[in-house]
Amino acid sequence: MMEDFNSETDSDYTSYWRDWFVSSRGNEYFCEIDEDYLTDRFNLTGLNTEVPYYQYALDLVTDVFDLDADDDLREQIEKSARHLYGLVHARYIVTTRGLAKMLEKYKKCDFGKCPRVICDGHPLLPMGQADLPNMTTVKLYCPKCEDIYNPKSSRHASIDGAYFGTSFHSILFQVYPALNPEKSLRRYEPRIYGFKVHAAAALARWQDNQRDELHYRLGEFDMSYRFIEESESEDDVEFDEGASEVRTERVTGDAASGRMDLGN
């Protein structure tokens, strides 16, 4: 496990604290920040006012800490070091190297799997609902259902969301678009003794119609969108009129009213 976090830019002597930090229980969501990144003051802009005992905390994180402090002070500095690490982490994980490290962890399911049954255990990504610290705790984003979840373990549930930020998970899929999972049409249908529950079925029908209509309107703009269940033989780039004849007939009326709704 440990060797995964070592970066080739770090010497063996300078990553003890970070090694210890990222391998501690409860810190599995963090990747190891490169020493190069931590020692470039530009990357730390503004953090000196956010973190108490800033210089000592930074020294501790970069393993040049050399202070005879009593236990109380040491504890304070240790706390500051963790906070500083988290805040720098949010900046680091949207860099090329940081994204690559988090991608490795995502592929290994280090952030857990989506609890939604129809997502089939899709890997999650950590995210914050705020970029400022002490607002909300870390949440987990599933790119398959595009929803967010609370972490299962209480150790993870108490981590500040600002250590991951609001944009990281979206940037990851911008940088690695091929990773974006195919969206599925599958969904849970509530039934009573085999019969669909009326209100839920009506809503599902309405949603299906809306989806068809959107599909059609995107087609008018030459934008095709395919769900995982739809066959590969359908035209890839352009909206294939032949393949969508049935759908077209069905939604013509709705599409017209849809345009009216948009005021076009």
**Binding region for Zn ion (CB under 5 A):** 114, 116, 119, 142, 144-145
User: For the chain, what is the total number of helices (H) and then of strands (E)?
Assistant: 10, 5
3-state SS class at 167: coil
Shortest spacing between CB 123 and Zn ion, in angstroms? 10
Task: Identify residue 199 by its one-letter amino acid code.
Answer: A
Strand partners, 147: 142
- CB-nearer residue toward Zn ion: 75 or 120: 120
Beta carbon nearer to Zn ion, 138 or 142: 142
Instruction: Determine contact, residues 37/43, Cβ cutoff 8 Å.
Output: yes
Q: What is the closest distance, in whole angstroms, from the C-beta atom of residue 207 to Zn ion in the complex?
A: 17
Identify the bridge partners of residue 126 per DSSP, sorted by sequence position: 140
Q: In angstroms, what is the minimal distance from the CB of 145 to Zn ion?
A: 3
Question: Is residue 38 within 8 Å of residue 88, measured between CB atoms?
Answer: yes
Question: Treating both helix axes as pointing N-terminal to C-terminal, what angle do 198-220 and 245-262 enclose, rounded to 10 degrees?
Answer: 90
Measured from the CB of residue 243, what is the shortest distance to Zn ion in angstroms? 29
Q: Which is nearer to Zn ion, 114 or 172 (CB)?
A: 114
114 versus 251: smaller Cβ distance to Zn ion? 114
Of 98 and 112, CB closest to Zn ion? 112
For residue 186, the minimal CB distance to Zn ion (Å) is 11
Quick one: angle between helices 54-61 and 16-23, nearest 10?
A: 90
